[in-house]
Structure 1
Amino acid sequence: MRSEPSLVSLLSSAVEGAVAAGSLRAGTRLPSVRQMATRLGVSTFTVAEAYTALVARQVLASRKGAGYFVQSSRVAAQRSPRELAISTQVSDDWLSLNMFAQGRDLLAAGCGWLPLSWYAENDFHAALRQATRIAGEHLASYGHPLGYAGLRQLLAHELGQRLGPVHADQLILTHGVTHGFELVMMGLLQPGDSVLVEEPGYWNLHAQLRCHGLNPIGVPRNAQGLALDALDHLAQAHRPRALFITTVGHNPLSTTLRLQQLHRVLALAERHDLWVIEDDIFRDLDGPHAPSLAGLDGLQRVLTLGGFSKTIAPAIRVGYVACPPALVQPLARVKMACGLTTSEINERAAARVLADPAHRRYLERIRHRLATSRERVVEALMDVGMTPLAMPDSGLYVCAGWPEREAPEQASLARQVAQEALTEGIALAPGDYFMLDQRPTSWFRFNVAHANDPRLLRFLQRVARRLPRA
């Protein structure tokens, strides 16, 4: 597992990616070192190092007295045929390999993050600048295996308000929820183990489980919640070791499980001796009073994973695992074995943001904006004949599709439409990606913060006019 990238690496990669995507053309002059440092809120040293690295890779040319210029489009030209095929075809792995890598000209209607302008309302840049001004002895050490103590103490206090007493040493800081999943899979499970997951569910979790040799078994989730009778039957038949579940703001349905269902989930977990892994990444987009499996269980059989990519900034890559005391050492051992410690600079920056009273007001504004966008997007999708799979309770998404007709090609409509949309600069997320076997579907996951865009709605109207009438 790779360690956290430096600011120099992030900046140089961003510029190189813009050249590869054609956003920065040959001959374009970049801002001066000082201008770029001021614009990004980083040191001039960081920018100078990044520019020097790009000159060494022949992405930029340095002209004395004139500045730095894009040397050529060689980065894009040297991409392999396989890379080009992935970026222009909505293949099975397109979402994971290209949704994150596209230039800003792409309308990412199916992505998993807020618009850049929304993140700008928090003061993360100032927090990051402050975090880099730490004493030299901190820079000369790897930090604590569990992560920065200040952030763990802050999180323990906040989690304690809804989970009951939580000690800071029950928290392991990670590079995000995905990294937290890695620790759980390697620390609690063995290759060949069966695990239960929600279907539809988070596509990257499905891929991670398979990479670790685990056998994911889908439990249906729909507008009514999790199919608990099916969960009971599958647990009896397959004897899984764990259940991976999202209580609040489910991805992709954006529904929240009701308290009665949560009690039954815990009863079934007790009956079948399951670890319950609660993905809590979307909680801040719902509000502090939403129900919690970890809160009902008191961190005995439930581990809860959270992070801040959805609210502070995607690039921050800070998350946590809150777990029973007996699991701290096994999970921390995996963390150190696979990547040593996490970035204390990022963790200090996250702590500064979370400790600022203005952050709560920022979250309230984000929740209000999402609610407004959600209402508009659902109405717009219904206007073009699409039907939501479930009415979202909170979060980023709404899933919707055209009702399936008798025509057999209708069942695989989503992938075909997504391919057509990509040629028009629109990135959709077909429902296929959220099914364990990626079977064809006729629905999509829309990000409500991006989907209220005239380009998308015009495109969907054209598609709807071609569909056979009921």
Structure 2
Amino acid sequence: MQAATLADQLTERSARGIAVGIGHLVRSGGLRAGDRLPTVRDLAAQIGVSPTTVAEAWRLLIAAQVIETRGKLGTVVRGVARPRGMQRMLRGPAIHPYPLDLSLAVPDPQLLPDPLRAFATMPPVPALNGYPAHPDDTVLPALRDIQQSEWPFQPEQMIVVNGGYDGIYLLCHELLRRGERVMVEQPGTGRLLDILDSLDAQPIPVECDEYGPVPAAVEEALQARPVMFVYQPRAQSPTGSALCAERLDQLAFALRDTDLAIVEDDPVCALSRFPAYSLGNFFPDRTALVRNWSKSHGPDLRIGVLAGASRLIEPARLGREMGAEWSSRLLQGAIAHMLTDPDSLSLVEKAASTYARRRESLAAALAERGVRTRARDGLVLWVPVHDEHEALVTLAVHGIGAGAGSLFSCDKIETNHLRVATTRLPEERINEIADVLSSVAPHQRQSRRGRPI
């Protein structure tokens, strides 16, 4: 569009007015995706304002993702922003419903405490007259006391959120700016990668082994100058890695001279078989840890705790004031009761041992067939395959669903792996399932003693 034509359609001469006017033209179809805009100087001359004013309007439009600069091609219209829902971890009815769906690590309902019993037997929640008068009032004292006694480091501030990924999203939304880089595990969680995509943040992949992020890979990723590191210290999804004390020390050494924010995601804390190692013991002034109990105590309890350095937690709390503001104290009371109730504790321990047995049984059955997996912890197996697409088709023929490995990759490139959830694995069918998986997987050569070479 020519500068004179565009200037005639703009009624306001402030930077914000120019940005609003161009935004209206894009929404109404007067400007379409790919249309090239006039230069800052040409439009400024036609409107009768300084180039600085138009440049500021351009900055507002770029931040709103309405326009973008393309070097020698100039500034062009991006178009109307599309809704930014989850792309990797799609919700809703399965496109191909499988008799046995091992794509999602949903909890076994037979192993969940009864929330109705918790409501009936928990202590009364203190009355709250009106809205909380202070941010600390939003955390039920009973839940705060339990978490402070179990937190792996001394947190400066604590808030309650509506589940683990609500906390992760709040931190990313409030702390990241468009284009900033974030170190993430490769492979990592699909939901986190969707969150980063929605914020136009750039994930920097970090290779992992069975003990978590590899220190040398962390040092290499730091060369990209990230501002945040998000990882799962235990029960990592999808690989099942878990930190040990030695690896924690190595990661702390690699991160010693940085100032990047550290976000630890502990999504299955009550079900993990490993200690809660945390970098917060080394960097309490820049670490935040989020926990939730959806897998162990039930997805309807939508309660998570986010605690750590105030420089990270306070922006998340302020961001929450724009929406939910605070989480139900009744739900907080229910989860606090479950975390101390002997019957609930016994059932959760049974769930943890059952899930571990199911995962380990399938891993052992695959190992007997020459297929190695490396999960030390967690609710899934990361199974190598020859070809991701062909493996999914083969499983589907046998009525089995699994997660495509590319959904957990930073660049969405096929990883030649499948994520196989084991929480609801029918134990009587483990050998059958292992047979199907081994038919699409590469096999290790075995020594005479039956060990992988």
Does TM, normalized by the shorter one, top 0.5?
yes
Alignment of 1:49-68 (within 5 A): none
TM superposition shift of 1:194: 0.5
8 Å contact kept, 1:430–1:443: yes
Corresponding residue of 1:87: none
Write the distance in 2 (CA, Å) between the matches of 1:467 and 1:242.
35
1:97 to 85, 91, 95: 91
Alignment of 1:353-372 (within 5 A): 353-372=338-357
Write the distance in 2 (CA, Å) between the matches of 1:281 and 1:211.
21
Corresponding residue of 1:126: 117
Question: Is 1:252 the equivalent of 2:246?
Answer: no
199-208 or 180-189, which deviates more: 180-189
How many residues matched? 358
8 Å contact kept, 1:183–1:334: yes
The CA deviation string for residues 417-449 of structure 1, in whole angstroms up to 9 with x for no partner, is: 324534654320122111111212332122222
Write the distance in 2 (CA, Å) between the matches of 1:331 and 1:436.
25
The residue type paired with residue 113 of structure 1 is V
8 Å contact kept, 2:143–2:333: no
Corresponding residue of 1:206: 193
Flag the structure with larger Rg. Answer: 2
Write the distance in 2 (CA, Å) between the matches of 1:144 and 1:423.
57
The residue type paired with residue 367 of structure 1 is A
1:153 to 139, 144, 152: 144
Question: Is 1:111 the equivalent of 2:81?
Answer: no
Write the distance in 2 (CA, Å) between the matches of 1:468 and 1:446.
16
CA change 1:100–1:351 in 2 (3 A) is: farther
CA change 1:99–1:324 in 2 (3 A) is: farther
8 Å contact kept, 2:211–2:244: no
Write the distance in 2 (CA, Å) between the matches of 1:426 and 1:98.
18
User: Tell me, what secondary structure is at the counterpart of 1:153?
Assistant: helix
8 Å contact kept, 2:358–2:422: yes
The CA deviation string for residues 90-140 of structure 1, in whole angstroms up to 9 with x for no partner, is: xx946432478998x742313122211111xx23221245679868x6596
Write the distance in 2 (CA, Å) between the matches of 1:467 and 1:311.
31
Corresponding residue of 2:383: 400
The residue type paired with residue 387 of structure 1 is R
The residue type paired with residue 239 of structure 1 is R
Write the distance in 1 (CA, Å) between the matches of 2:186 and 2:323.
29
Write the distance in 2 (CA, Å) between the matches of 1:229 and 1:364.
36
User: Tell me, what secondary structure is at the counterpart of 1:451?
Assistant: coil
CA change 1:347–1:422 in 2 (3 A) is: farther
The CA deviation string for residues 230-253 of structure 1, in whole angstroms up to 9 with x for no partner, is: 2112212x1110101111111111
Identity %: 20
Superposition RMSD in Å: 3.2
User: Tell me, what secondary structure is at the counterpart of 1:191?
Assistant: coil
User: Tell me, what secondary structure is at the counterpart of 2:401?
Assistant: coil
Write the distance in 2 (CA, Å) between the matches of 1:144 and 1:342.
14
8 Å contact kept, 1:252–1:445: yes
TM superposition shift of 1:386: 2.9
CA change 1:418–1:131 in 2 (3 A) is: farther
Question: So what's the TM-score if we normalise by structure 2?
Answer: 0.70
Corresponding residue of 2:404: 430
The residue type paired with residue 210 of structure 1 is D
User: Tell me, what secondary structure is at the counterpart of 1:310?
Assistant: helix
User: Tell me, what secondary structure is at the counterpart of 2:359?
Assistant: helix
The residue type paired with residue 215 of structure 1 is Q
8 Å contact kept, 2:101–2:401: yes
Question: So what's the TM-score if we normalise by structure 1?
Answer: 0.68
Write the distance in 1 (CA, Å) between the matches of 2:349 and 2:220.
40
Write the distance in 2 (CA, Å) between the matches of 1:414 and 1:132.
51
Write the distance in 2 (CA, Å) between the matches of 1:468 and 1:190.
42
Corresponding residue of 1:374: 359
Alignment of 1:278-293 (within 5 A): 278-287=264-273, 289-293=275-279
CA change 1:466–1:440 in 2 (3 A) is: closer
The CA deviation string for residues 183-202 of structure 1, in whole angstroms up to 9 with x for no partner, is: 11122221221110000111
Listed as ranges, the gaps of 5+ residues in structure 1 are 1-91, 403-409
User: Tell me, what secondary structure is at the counterpart of 2:222?
Assistant: helix
Alignment of 1:195-274 (within 5 A): 195-223=182-210, 225-236=212-223, 238-274=224-260
1:193 to 180, 193, 208: 180
Corresponding residue of 2:413: 439
Question: Is 1:304 the equivalent of 2:304?
Answer: no
TM superposition shift of 1:263: 1.9
TM superposition shift of 1:453: 5.0
User: Tell me, what secondary structure is at the counterpart of 1:439?
Assistant: coil
Write the distance in 2 (CA, Å) between the matches of 1:134 and 1:423.
52
CA change 1:222–1:177 in 2 (3 A) is: same
User: Tell me, what secondary structure is at the counterpart of 1:97?
Assistant: coil
User: Tell me, what secondary structure is at the counterpart of 1:260?
Assistant: helix
8 Å contact kept, 1:299–1:324: yes
User: Tell me, what secondary structure is at the counterpart of 2:263?
Assistant: strand
TM superposition shift of 1:204: 0.7
The residue type paired with residue 178 of structure 1 is Y
Corresponding residue of 1:417: 391
Corresponding residue of 2:66: none
8 Å contact kept, 1:143–1:341: no
The residue type paired with residue 362 of structure 1 is L
TM superposition shift of 1:305: 0.7
The residue type paired with residue 210 of structure 2 is A
The residue type paired with residue 360 of structure 2 is E
